[in-house]
């Protein structure tokens, strides 16, 4: 149930098509996380600090596509979540 709620919230922020596309590109997300863990960390922390939907939408619209995909997959894709845990990226 929590996963569905999270996906619904992310769809409101990023758009349904963007979420679907991101999840189809989980391998790209994993490469981005593996090759740029510091920038990925900044992306995640920047998103986490926002409290309001309009702030989150503004932030999402300004993200580089690869990091947006990585952010979404780190929250919704099990393989990407496993990689995040494996790399010790515990700030999620």
Is residue 71 situated within a structural domain? yes
The whole domain housing 6 covers 2-86
- Please write the tens of the pLDDT for every residue from 39-83: 999 999 999 999 999 999 999 999 999 999 999 999 999 999 999
Kindly state the average pLDDT of the residues 17-45: 96
Is residue 92 situated within a structural domain? no
CA nearest to 66, candidates 33, 44, 37, 90? 33
Q: Judge whether residue 7 has pLDDT over 80.
A: yes
- pLDDT at residue 3 in the model: 80
Quote the number of domains for the chain.
1
Q: What is the mean pLDDT of the chain?
A: 93
DSSP 63: S
CA distance 75 to 6: 8
CA distance 47 to 26: 19
> Residues, the chain, total?
92
């Amino acid at each position: 149930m929590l996963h569905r709620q999270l996906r619904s919230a992310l769809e409101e922020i990023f758009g349904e098509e963007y979420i679907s596309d991101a999840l189809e590109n989980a391998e790209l997300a994993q490469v981005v996380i593996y090759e740029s863990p510091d920038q990925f960390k900044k992306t995640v922390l920047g998103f986490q600090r926002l409290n309001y939907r309009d702030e989150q939408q503004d932030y999402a619209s300004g993200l580089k596509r690869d990091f947006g995909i990585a952010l979404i997959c780190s929250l919704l894709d099990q393989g990407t979540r496993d990689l995040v845990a494996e790399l010790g990226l515990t700030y999620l």
